[in-house]
Chains A and B, each alone.
Chain A
Amino acid sequence: MSQSVPRLRFEGVTKEFPGVRALSDVTFEVAAGEIHALLGENGAGKSTLLRILSGGLRPTAGKVLVDGRELVLRKPIQARAAGIAMIHQELQQVQHLTVAQNMFLGHQLTRLGGLVVDRAGQERRAAAALARIDPSIDPAAPIRTLKVAQRQIVEIARALLDEARIIAMDEPTSSLTPSEFDRLAEIVADLAAGGVSIIYVSHKMDEVFRIGHRATIMRDGAVVGMRALAGVDQKEIVSLMVGRELSQEPHRSFATDEVKLEANGLGSAVSRVRNISFRLHKGEVLGIAGLVGSGRSELLRLIAGADRRSAGTLAIDGKPVTFRSPREAIAAGVGLCPEERKREGIIPLRSMTSNLGLPSLKRYTSGGLIARRKLDKVAERHLKGVNLRPFLPDRPIRLFSGGNQQKGIIARWLAADSQILLFDEPTRGIDVGAKSEIHALIERLASEGHSIIVVSSELPEVIRLSDRVLVMREGELAAELSSDGLTEQAIVAHAIPGYAGRSTSQS
């Protein structure tokens, strides 16, 4: 594959953000007609790489070559002209427009010198592109009437329309059923046979092995290996992805018999979460696994008072509670460390101390005024406890690395005396050193009697941290598993819709 000029080559691509190096010296090639899997844990740098490829970010150093020519993108729209199409996990389509309108969004066909959109012409060409993969989709139908799998096909057809020679797919199957995946696999194979290069990002090893030719494995922003997928062991790839540090720490349990939190038949008013019942004990770490979109984060938001409950009951220390806002949940001792720290966690311009004090300001307020010295003292104690680095409590939180921001958020809940701590993807976007620190911290908190729920897409993390694991599937609890001898396969079997049923019916 190296005798000719590769279709796509990343050459020493490095991307730095303030406080974190997201990519360092990434180099690999994708041949024409190749299905190239890009593997790595969350935060390994895959998304950053795709954003550079699609013109959403510019590398700090290094370059991207397409057919041997350096690709210089200033705007995402230029990626399209260069023959690069991106199919995102969350489909970026305009709900109330038709299939054809969505396919031509941003570069409409026009008549009368650009004055009028040529809808008929758009629909004709959209139909032609769709016919190559799924003629059953009506180009004049509003996009919202289509199923997710069909909408994905529309995105692929749009890429064909643009005559894309490189298509990057980011977790394309996260919400597809197994039969829909089969169809997608066929389509992708056809495209590759026609000379299109595919970059395929997925967490699901089975899929990757079925569909892909080669795989580049990334960890912590760097390429850690490249393998031809035929004849390589899955375990080898997984160990490359995860590294060795995580799996070696043995799990320690501090769970007691005392029930701290009890949920019965919980259902959400704003998400698909329904009929969730479980108990969380004092000192216990309860893991929640499941696919993206299975309702894990929404369950946490429900417990934390951020979303409205529509059904079921929640009790803390045996007393029923109802939270109309996070403020009420915080008063009852529940603290949420959200998945997207930038969006839901931090007040970027404010100092670490301010961010820490926010939920518990009342404690440091007397006569209507905040006693800064008291707050500073509490902040110092808790920030030392979580090992903030560098130890600058007055520095704006945005200038800290992701790991240290997370430590700040954890310290916030410790300062607020939260007994129930909810972690949503606690180590997403955090580099490996800080990651094991966060893991040790969660374990320490459990040993100190906190009750903890950890939602994570990284199964090794769930297994490493949890005393028990709940698996969610399509908004419901699919299984409760003890973490003794728990394997990733066992979790996955329960997490994928139809998967468990299918394997039992076949065996």
Chain B
Amino acid sequence: MSSLSHGNGAEGSSRFGLRTLALRDAGTLIGLVVILAVFALLAPGFISERNLLNILQQSSLNACLALGMTLVIVSGGIDLSVGPTAALSAVISGSLLLSGVPVPLAILAGLALGALCGLINGVFVAVVGLQPFIVTLGTLSTYRALALIYTGGNPVLGIPAGYRAIFNGAVLGVPSPIIIVAVVAVIAWIILKKTPLGEYLLAVGGNEEAAYIAGVPIALTKIAAYVISGFLAALTASILIGRLGAAEPILGNLWELDAIAASAIGGASLMGGKGSIVGTLLGAIILGAMRNGLTLMNVQAFYQLLATGLIILVAMIIDRMTRGRG
């Protein structure tokens, strides 16, 4: 027996698998606490109830996207098309609202369109057998182009107040976007941890050939991940146009990168088979808190970008160094 496996054997309790995962989340949480502590010292007004809610609200959009992204990454894929999916769904949903379609129907239509965009991605990946990166790179351009063509490049202005009220409201002082995303996170957590789909996603991403032999419905599993991702991109878009009062066809530019960053900081492996919902939420909040804090400190945008890049790299290096190879 090698010393390596021996060490693991001694450490391994019946909770071994559970504990290692929770450990990773604890690591992300420590990262968040450190960042909060640093800004608490450097940026006046950073730690106030108002600003903390602000951070959560600013992070909620990215978190919503990143939750879907995490499921896709766990399945061994990637979804680069979330931003344009959001934009397409936003402009269609916005136009429907302007033409007098009832609010719930317009929201549903937008969400359905997002899910359809995801379905198309999923079919190309799982049925046609193209690589996820290339498929979603292609649909990234395609969906964006459709949004631009449909609107002629102009924003859809004048989203009705009844719609905006839903996303600008608050329950017990908590802004509704935070509540919506919290509910989404709970559902995503249940999917990954408690449902057959979650097991299948982890299996397909962990070893597709073995999952196939074990009877996992590979194509359906992958498609489900992309549909969820597209749906959540559309949900993110409906929150955003509710807050802005306009649906721009260029909305969501580079969103995919923030979403991937949040997933990765939270412990998702781009190789597939691994990822954490709690970690992704914390990852999104880390990115949001960074930006908020730097803005409060009046740091220039260029340096904010630099800081974001560095935090991703540092998070990945820490992840690598603490993971070991047992």
Least CB distance from B71 to A in Å reads 16
- The stretch of A39-47, A391-399, A464-472, A474-482 in contact with B is A391-399
| A 341-358 to B, binary, CB cutoff 8 A, 1 in contact else 0 | 001111111110011011
Contacts A390-B12, A393-B14 hold; do A369 and B1 have CB atoms under 8 A apart? Answer: no
A350 touches B214 (CB 8 A): no
In residues 167-225 of chain B, which contact A (Cβ within 8 Å)?
Answer: 190, 194-196, 199-200, 202-203, 206-207, 209-217
Which residue of chain A has its CB nearest to the CB of B217? A327
CB pair A336–B274 under 8 Å, yes or no, is no
B5 at the interface (CB under 8 A from A): yes
Q: Do the beta carbons of A347 and B1 come within 8 Å of each other?
A: no
Q: Are B214 and A358 in contact (CB under 8 A)?
A: yes
Say how far B141's CB is from chain A's closest CB, in angstroms.
31
Interface string of A1-39 (1 = CB under 8 A from B): 000000000000000111111000000000000000000
Residue A338 at the chain B interface, CB threshold 8 Å? yes
Cβ–Cβ contact B17 & A394, under 8 A: yes
Residues of chain A contacted by B195 (CB below 8 angstroms)? 365, 368-370
Given A348-B207, A370-B196, A395-B12, are A336 and B17 also a contact pair (CB < 8 Å)? no
CA distance A193 to B4 in the complex (A): 45
List the B residue with the shortest CB-CB distance to A336.
Answer: B213
Q: Given A390-B12, A394-B17, A395-B17, are A359 and B196 neighbors across the interface (CB < 8 Å)?
A: no
Note all chain A residues with C-beta closer than 8 A to B13.
392
Bound-state CA distance A21–B196 (Å) is 36
If the complex has contacts A368-B195, A370-B196, A395-B17, are A344 and B210 also in contact, measured as CB distance less than 8 A?
Answer: yes
B18 interface hit (Cβ, 8 Å): yes
Residue of B at shortest CB range from A343? B209
Q: Is B16 an interface residue (CB 8 A)?
A: yes
Chain A residues with CB under 8 Å of B213's CB are 304, 306, 326, 336, 338, 344-345
- Nearest-CB residue, chain A, relative to B206: A347
Question: Given A21-B2, A344-B213, are A354 and B12 also a contact pair (CB < 8 Å)?
Answer: no
Given contacts A346-B207, A349-B273, contact A394 B214 (CB under 8 A): no
Q: Sort chain B's interface into a size bin.
A: 35 or more
B15 CB–A CB distance under 8 Å: yes
Q: Is the CB of A16 within 8 A of B217?
A: no
Within 8 A of B (CB), among A382-416: 390, 392-396, 399, 401, 412, 416
CA gap between A121 and B200 in the complex, in Å: 54
For residue B9, which residues in chain A have a CB less than 8 angstroms away from its CB?
390, 399
- B142 interface residue (CB < 8 Å to A): no
Residues 1-30 of B at the A interface (beta carbon under 8 Å): 1-2, 4-5, 8-9, 12-18, 20
Q: In the complex, which residues of chain B have a beta carbon less than 8 angstroms from the beta carbon of A401? A: 5
A361 within 8 A of B: yes
Residues of B within 8 A of A346 (CB): 207, 210
Interface flags, A443-456, vs B, CB<8A=1, else 0? 00000000000000
Residues of A within 8 A of B12 (CB): 390, 392, 395, 399
Is the CB–CB distance between B14 and A392 below 8 Å?
yes
Decide yes or no: A347 and B17 within 8 Å by CB, A19-B2, A369-B190 being known contacts: no
Task: Decide if A17 touches B2 in the complex (CB within 8 Å).
Answer: yes
Contact A343 B214 (CB under 8 A): no
User: CB distance A350 to B2 under 8 Å?
Assistant: no
Which of A304, A349, A370 has the largest number of chain B CB atoms within 10 A? A349
* A362 contacts B by Cβ under 8 Å: yes
Beta-carbon contact of A358 and B199 below 8 Å: yes
Q: Which of A344, A354, A362, A412 contacts B202 (CB 8 A)?
A: A354
Q: Which residue of A lies closest to B19 (CB)?
A: A394
In the assembled complex, A442 has its CB within 8 A of some CB on chain B: no
Nearest CB of B to A341, in Å: 8
Residues of A whose CB lies within 8 Å of any CB of B are 16-21, 60, 304, 306, 325-327, 329-331, 336, 338, 343-351, 354-355, 357-359, 361-362, 365, 368-370, 372, 390, 392-396, 399, 401, 412, 416
Residues of B participating in the A interface, judged by any CB pair closer than 8 Å:
1-2, 4-5, 8-9, 12-18, 20, 190, 194-196, 199-200, 202-203, 206-207, 209-217, 273-274, 326
15 inter-chain pairs at a CB distance below 8 angstroms, sorted by A residue, are: A325-B217, A336-B213, A338-B213, A343-B210, A345-B210, A346-B210, A347-B207, A347-B273, A350-B206, A392-B16, A394-B16, A395-B16, A395-B17, A396-B17, A416-B215
Nearest 8 Cβ contacts at the A-B interface: A359-B215, A16-B2, A347-B206, A330-B215, A327-B215, A358-B214, A351-B17, A361-B196
**Told that A354-B202, A355-B214, A362-B196 touch, could you supply 10 new A-B pairs with CB distance under 8 A?**
A330-B215, A331-B215, A346-B210, A347-B203, A348-B273, A350-B17, A358-B199, A358-B214, A365-B196, A412-B214
